[in-house]
Amino acid sequence: MQEWANQLCENRQFGSKMTDSKYFTTTKKGEIFELKAELNSDKKEKKKEAVKKVIASMTVGKDVSALFPDVVNCMQTDNLELKKLVYLYLMNYAKSQPDMAIMAVNTFVKDCEDPNPLIRALAVRTMGCIRVDKITEYLCEPLRKCLKDEDPYVRKTAAVCVAKLHDINAQLVEDQGFLDTLKDLISDSNPMVVANAVAALSEIAESHPNSNLLDLNPQTINKLLTALNECTEWGQIFILDCLANYTPRDDRESQSICERVTPRLSHANSAVVLSAVKVLMKFMEMLPKDLDYYGTLLKKLAPPLVTLLSAEPELQYVALRNINLIVQRRPEILKHEMKVFFVKYNDPIYVKLEKLDIMIRLASQANIAQVLAELKEYATEVDVDFVRKAVRAIGRCAIKVEQSAERCVSTLLDLIQTKVNYVVQEAIVVIKDIFRKYPNKYESVIATLCENLDSLDEPEARAAMIWIVGEYAERIDNADELLESFLEGFHDESTQVQLQLLTAIVKLFLKKPTETQELVQQVLSLATQDSDNPDLRDRGYIYWRLLSTDPVAAKEVVLAEKPLISEETDLIEPTLLEELICHIGTLASVYHKPPSAFVEGSRGVQHKRLPGSAGSGESADSPDTGSAAGVSEAPPAVIPSQGDLLGDLLNLDLTPPTTSGPPPAPSSGMQMGAMDLLGGGLDSLMGDESEPPPVPQRTDTPQSPQLSHQSPSPPDYSPTELGGDLGGSPAMGAGFGAPPTAMPASFPPPVSGGLDDLFDLGGSVGMPMGAYSPPKSIWLPAMKAKGLEISGTFARRAGVIQMEMTLTNKAMSIMTDFAIQFNRNSFGLAPAGPLQVLTPVGPNQSIEVALPLSTVGPVMKMEPLTNLQVAVKNNIDVFYFSSQYPISMLFVEDGKMERQVFLATWKDIPNDNEAQFQIKDCHLNSDAASSKLQGSNVFTIAKRTVEGQDMLYQSMKLTNGIWVLAELRVQAGNPNYTVSLKCRAPEVSQCVFQSYEAMLKN
């Protein structure tokens, strides 16, 4: 379509009187017939008029494909204008009339040898736009000639044609050697040819990420930099984007490239400026910070970015989105340019909001007075959205610059005095954050906040105010009255407010137990019995359980010290920021999302990283994580995207399978008086150390009428009721008194009745010596999971398979609410309980988790056999990854066969099922090998020695009952073993061999 528009525009220059509109206003009937006659006219002028009418009809959407042969006949002409029009028609209809389009091939071939370079270029450009497979092979010869044409205009057009042809038929382009010709054009003497060759190669490389087409080396880079000064602005952008993909060898080369790119910063085209900024931002990473040139470069980067802000609003917005990224990476570039980001009265709202964001990022002790004066002014504007953001910005300043906190709080109090509803609400939300950041400093303002309680109608503001009342209940005399006023319309409140109200009243009860007994009963009852929201219900039960069993623990949990908040919470996660810096000047930098998040289709999207800084020793590529020995080299197929998996994930059961066996015997409910709703909770809080009453067990028997105040037990929920996609914890669904449904038989139910019972905390079990488990490897890199990195391994400990993981938070926000789920797999592996992440994982924190697995889950054969597809959910999103477990994890403890049974079974299994493998470079004798394998449940049945060669006969049994028999031959002095495996399911042999190799070599 773009080509079309270009050609139509070019054609305008031939219409001398600019009266082409007449072609669009015909009212004739039988038009096609008349046009046909005119197209076959002997008069050139009449022919040209007819073709223009045809193009006009085509442009307004009429079908004029019936005239195809007649229009193609007009190609045989010397008139450039007529030829362009015919080519335009051809491009449009060749796809629907491929057989007719072949008629035009001869003319193309002829035109590619025309003495006029414009006609040669026109022919090759049109050839590239005709996307018909049948024609492409005829066009190879003319294209080859045009790529070596003496005229640079023809060469540059041919270079782009190669990229178009590659899109239609990649194999043909590679077979014909066009890619090599394209690489040669990078050394062309004409800068425009170089730019188009780079653009074409970049386009092809993008759809084939691993092809290494643009083999950039210092010599090529030098040629590109030379062409950079002389080509058009779009040519410069192509070359700069290509330079940005290069990783310099050292800081000297990096500095040299920066020096030659810097002049582009003063270019009139903003796209060229942003592309130059991208190159400089990337190569600055390699410059030592103490270098004089580094400081000079920082100073040179500010003026062009400031200049971009004097363009029209749309361009300003794009510039501001890019500046937002640059400021997060290198705030020092624009630290003296704060005034440029002050809002003008006539800025559109989208520019205002973006400027506001950058002002906060640049705020420092030096300029905070200026910024606050500006923000206070903005808070009195008429635009509601902008005012809200300005009030929030004042709060963010207080959190970012500690010295300004007092001034910010007094500014917010002044704004609250204006009594403008939405200003008051935003102010309360940000004051809550200031309390969190500076505890015990500004609580004197609480009285002023309480005066405005009645005017709050937005959930976020109401929740913030409730949090303040609950957190500082001991300082507010009528805290119980205030919270009670919210409780009256509990069911009409949003979930956010309900959750906050529940927590605040429990806090109040723990601080003032005697006065708030009824209030806490009321809220717990509302949350657990009258609510459909699983989050609210579960939190209500946890509080109820805590208060009724161990009030001291309840105090420690509910009134624990909160982590201080920092201004960094709204920064982009570092690995994502690095990738976005590599995409400055593209759509990714405006969306603030990596291209993979919004580019669909077959094109491989490469993840880009900034090079390691000077002297850090990092390479530009992320280091490969060594694969565990014995696991096949090919990485498991990672689940591609949420959409592809939907079918499988919908089939997954959200709770682990129930182990067979009788359910826990129900016990009768515990009777309580009205005042004893919380068990011994009140006494313990008041200092009475008498023993708390027993924990109420789950009961399914009908209750007698007098137990109206019995501590409620949660009903059985279906998985979907329990919490959406992955969230429900089976421990809660099973009733708090009962052990979790899916603990393996070897795990005793927890003894204690307190938190251990609720969260199913079992002690870790000792591991038999010698059991092999592979080293941990990264399963889910942080870049693909919004900052969550998961590395792990599988182990078999005391007969229980465990998935041992390290969860690392590389994002700026806290991660909570973890849950895990497996896809169906070859051996029915499934979590035997919920994922036990009991504390939130803060930024840059890691937590070790061991998840016991059962083997009674749904089964589906995977490729490879030991592939496990996993979904992990947290408060941020759901993430998918794949890992491979060693099959040795599935070897059970009772896998030792009797000798006679072994012999009979070996003979019984057909010889076709026998597989033989070599294990190389293994320096163990047969006894050492035997004991090492026995640690992983590979049992030696018998051993015999024949001609100096030890033969070990071994058996192992998989969790699904499949037996594998082995013969291991060990020759003294020979490091190469031979293992023969026999099994009724021969597909497991390869996996068993890999485990053998791993066990013996580690």
The pLDDT score that the predictor gives to residue 892 is 92
Residue whose pair of structure tokens reads 């076709």 in the numeric block: 912
Q: Max Cα separation, the chain?
A: 115
φ and ψ at residue 217, rounded to 5 degrees: -135, 170
Q: Give tens-digit pLDDT for 99-132.
A: 777 777 777 778 888 888 888 888 888 887 877 7
Q: Which of 444-453, 879-888, 961-970 has the lowest mean pLDDT?
A: 444-453
Question: How confident is the prediction for the chain on average, in pLDDT?
Answer: 77
pLDDT above 70: residue 644: no
Query: Which stretch of DSSP H or E encloses residue 968?
Result: strand 963-971
Query: Which candidate, 681, 738, 692, places its Cα nearest to that of 715?
Result: 738
Q: Which of 282-296, 430-444, 528-542, 644-658 has the lowest mean pLDDT?
A: 644-658
Mean pLDDT computed over 256-267: 89
Provide CB contacts within 8 A for 8, sequence distance 6+: 59, 88
Residue 892 CB-density burial (10 A; 0-12 exposed, 13-18 middle, 19+ buried) = middle
3-state secondary structure of 618: coil
**Structure token digits, residue 287:** 């410059």
Q: How would you classify the pairing of strands 963-971 and 977-983?
A: antiparallel
Mean pLDDT computed over 81-93: 81
Domain range annotation of the chain? 363-455, 458-559, 777-885, 890-1001
Band of the pLDDT at 569, cuts 50, 70, 90? low
Q: Which of 668-677, 763-772, 774-783 has the lowest mean pLDDT?
A: 668-677
pLDDT above 70 covers what percent of the chain? 80
The CA radius of gyration of the chain, in Å to the nearest whole number, is 37
CATH of 890-1001, one of 3.30.310.10, 3.80.30.20, 3.40.30.10, 3.40.605.10: 3.30.310.10
Q: Give tens-digit pLDDT for 394-441.
A: 888 888 888 888 888 888 888 888 888 888 888 888 888 888 888 878
pLDDT above 50: residue 37: yes
Cα–Cα distances (Å) from 834 to 378, 408, 761, 801, 916, in that order, read 49, 44, 11, 15, 41
pLDDT above 50: residue 295: yes
Band of the pLDDT at 4, cuts 50, 70, 90? low
Provide CB contacts within 8 A for 711, sequence distance 6+: 544, 548, 669, 670, 672, 677, 679, 696
The pLDDT score that the predictor gives to residue 10 is 52
Band of the pLDDT at 890, cuts 50, 70, 90? very high
The fold for domain 777-885 equals: Immunoglobulin-like (2.60.40)
Provide CB contacts within 8 A for 694, sequence distance 6+: 670, 753
Q: Give tens-digit pLDDT for 841-851.
A: 998 899 999 99
Q: Give tens-digit pLDDT for 651-685.
A: 434 444 444 444 444 333 333 333 344 444 444 44
Q: Do domains 777-885 and 890-1001 have the same CATH topology?
A: no
Report the Cα 285 to chain-centroid distance in Å: 24
Amino acid, res. 404: S
Using the 8-state DSSP alphabet, how is residue 748 labeled?
P
pLDDT above 50: residue 594: yes
The pLDDT score that the predictor gives to residue 622 is 39
Q: Using a CB cutoff of 8 Å and minimum separation of 24, what contacts does 245-252 make? A: 245/214, 245/216, 245/608, 246/216, 246/221, 247/611, 247/620, 248/283, 248/286, 248/611, 249/218, 250/286, 251/286, 251/287, 251/288, 251/291, 251/614
pLDDT above 70: residue 705: no
Residue 564 CB-density burial (10 A; 0-12 exposed, 13-18 middle, 19+ buried) = exposed
pLDDT above 50: residue 201: yes
Round to the nearest angstrom and report the end-to-end CA distance of the chain: 61
Q: How would you classify the pairing of strands 914-919 and 939-946?
A: unpaired
pLDDT above 50: residue 718: no
Mean pLDDT computed over 466-481: 84
Residue with the bigger pLDDT between 27 and 217: it is 217
Band of the pLDDT at 317, cuts 50, 70, 90? very high
Do you find a cis peptide bond into 719, omega within 30 degrees of 0? no
Report the Cα 910 to chain-centroid distance in Å: 49
Provide CB contacts within 8 A for 557, sequence distance 6+: 546
pLDDT above 90: residue 939: yes
CB 728 within 8 A of CB 719: yes
Task: Tell me how far apart the alpha carbons of residues 760 and 738 are, in angstroms, rounded to a whole number.
Answer: 10
Q: How many CA atoms lie within 13 A of 698 on its CB side?
A: 19
CB 933 within 8 A of CB 1000: yes
Q: Which of 61-75, 356-370, 409-423 has the lowest mean pLDDT?
A: 61-75
pLDDT above 80: residue 773: yes
pLDDT above 60: residue 69: yes
CB 790 within 8 A of CB 812: no
Q: Give tens-digit pLDDT for 477-518.
A: 888 888 888 888 888 888 899 999 999 999 988 888 888 888
CB 159 within 8 A of CB 182: yes
Residue with the bigger pLDDT between 29 and 754: it is 29
The pLDDT score that the predictor gives to residue 612 is 66
Band of the pLDDT at 20, cuts 50, 70, 90? low
The pLDDT score that the predictor gives to residue 752 is 37
pLDDT above 90: residue 954: yes
Residue with the bigger pLDDT between 794 and 83: it is 794
Query: Which candidate, 128, 144, 201, places its Cα nearest to that of 176?
Result: 144
Provide CB contacts within 8 A for 95, sequence distance 6+: 130, 131, 132
SS3 percent helix, strand, coil of the chain, rounded to 5, is 50, 10, 40
CB 453 within 8 A of CB 427: no
Q: Which of 6-15, 534-543, 881-890 has the lowest mean pLDDT?
A: 6-15
CB 159 within 8 A of CB 192: no
Angle between helices 44-59 and 31-39 (to 10 degrees): 140
Mean pLDDT computed over 808-819: 89
Angle ∠(604,607,609) on CA atoms, nearest 5: 155
Task: Tell me how far apart the alpha carbons of residues 964 and 895 are, in angstroms, rounded to a whole number.
Answer: 9
Residue whose pair of structure tokens reads 């004089």 in the numeric block: 292
CB 372 within 8 A of CB 411: yes
Mean pLDDT computed over 310-336: 90
The pLDDT score that the predictor gives to residue 955 is 94
